[in-house]
A and B are shown apart, each in its own frame.
Chain A
Amino acid sequence: GDSVTQMEGPVTLSEEAFLTINCTYTATGYPSLFWYVQYPGEGLQLLLKATKADDKGSNKGFEATYRKETTSFHLEKGSVQVSDSAVYFCALGENTGNQFYFGTGTSLTVIP
């Protein structure tokens, strides 16, 4: 079945460092891909998404490109801030079905 595998954490970076969180997926069809984020004490919220191959999702300085050839959707940010400290979840939604699959989450801590 469909699944998502993301880089295990925790990840600790200094402020202004470059961030990459790896995410790869397995799917039988052509899914939509998502990054959701959970800030401390808050609920899950959408960070960005891409609905087809080669699409790039972006928001708040974060980017991820839907790569069909490598079945990947890696999350990147050029310069992280302390306020980016959160848990990041990669997710996959079936376009021909109704199921939704999340990765295990990657905890990011940014230190000043």
Chain B
Amino acid sequence: GAGVSQSPRYKVAKRGQDVALRCDPISGHVSLFWYQQALGQGPEFLTYFQNEAQLDKSGLPSDRFFAERPEGSVSTLKIQRTQQEDSAVYLCASSLRRSTDTQYFGPGTRLTVL
């Protein structure tokens, strides 16, 4: 498909487990964002990549959150030692060039931490 894909779509983790969430952006898109969306809220910015460079990680809530995009395409968001407050939908979006170009969103990964 030509859109942004994310996997898994749903993830249930026990508190303290590590999780890895994958994002496949649109081919050729330079910019990639990760967002966290709590129930009934808007997406909250987590981090931004331009190609393989992570230019902004100011939104990551703690040092348990880590994101990478080693070859400038697929990205992984890793959460270590998950806590209940990490339960949310994690959205990935990509855009062609700049961060203010149109963003194309994936369907999200719903993470539930028990």
Contacts and interface: CB of A to CB of B under 8 A. Distances in A.
A44 B42 CA distance: 11
B110 to A, nearest CB: 13
Given A32-B100, A49-B102, A93-B99, A99 B56 contact: yes
B23 interface: no
Contacts, number: 61
Chain B interface size range: 20 to 34
Interface string A1-44: 00010000000000000000000000000011000100000011
Nearest to B93: A44
Chain A interface size range: 20 to 34
B56 A44 contact: no
A46 interface: yes
Contacts of B48: 98-100
B43 interface: yes
B91 A44 contact: yes
Interface string A37-77: 00000011110010100000000000000000000000000
A81 interface: no
Contacts of A94: 99-100
Contacts of A45: 104-105
B56 A97 contact: yes
Nearest to A38: B105
A51 B103 CA distance: 14
| A-B complex: 4 closest residue pairs judged by Cβ atoms | A102-B42, A93-B100, A44-B105, A98-B48
